[in-house]
Amino acid sequence: MSGFVSFVGSGPGDPELLTLKAVNRLQNAQAVLFDDLSSGGILEHAGPEADLIGVGKRAGRPSPKQDHVSQLLVDYAKTGMRVVRLKSGDSGLFGRLEEEIVALEKAGIPYEIIPGVPSAVAAAAAAGIPLTRRLTARRVQFVTGHDVTGELPEKINVGALADPETTTVVFMGKRTFPKLASLLIKNGLSAKTPAILAENVSKNDQKITRSTIEGLVDQLSGDIGHNPALIMYGPLAEFDDA
């Protein structure tokens, strides 16, 4: 007997940013496989009898392999359970969603995808700025700061990332940003381009640092800590002075 899997985007971490559908699926789940950033108060919405299984991955820390996570998802669903795969932000943005969908499809297990508030959108809201600006930032681009090896991806369109009229959001990029910034500056983007480092977005210890590209390079060239963060740069950071 096959169960059913709900991929649920939990948003950036604040339980109040969960959608009504996300809460419904958590309340009715028999098993919840959750990421580290989807724990805490969010899991309080899960039913008291639900199995809670942590499968989160964090840079620089021991983490379960993706194949293991995908197989766990299949194994739980094969028992006939209603399973929630809880992912931070929106599961379709750098959330390894495709690998898990492929595993379910191979096993013939039905699923649904419930979107969540993307962390980039929450970060911009926390900073009090829009991601787009009329006349100066008509395009937004999301990019990962590292590849499967943990290094800055080799095949990146640096020209596009150096576009001064584009809002760029870098996910998981604290460690590799100094290298990325060097490439951006070599491709014509000003070192004075406004930039924001948003850490622990939507949580009690949220920290928003307003700087420039070169300022963030100085900051991130030392101890970067373990707080999850996004980096945003481009015209958006000039909003307060517009």
Q: What is the DSSP letter of 242?
A: -
Kind plus residue range of the DSSP H or E element containing 82:
strand 82-87
Positions marked active-site: 35, 57, 172
| CA proximity to 198, closest of 13, 59, 28 | 13
With beta carbons less than 8 A apart as the criterion, state whether 173 and 144 touch.
Answer: yes
Show the 3-state SS of 108-175. CCCEEEECCCCHHHHHHHHHCCCCCECCCECEEEEEECCCCCCCCCCCCCHHHHCCCCEEEEEECCCC
Tokens for 183, please give them.
Answer: 């490439």
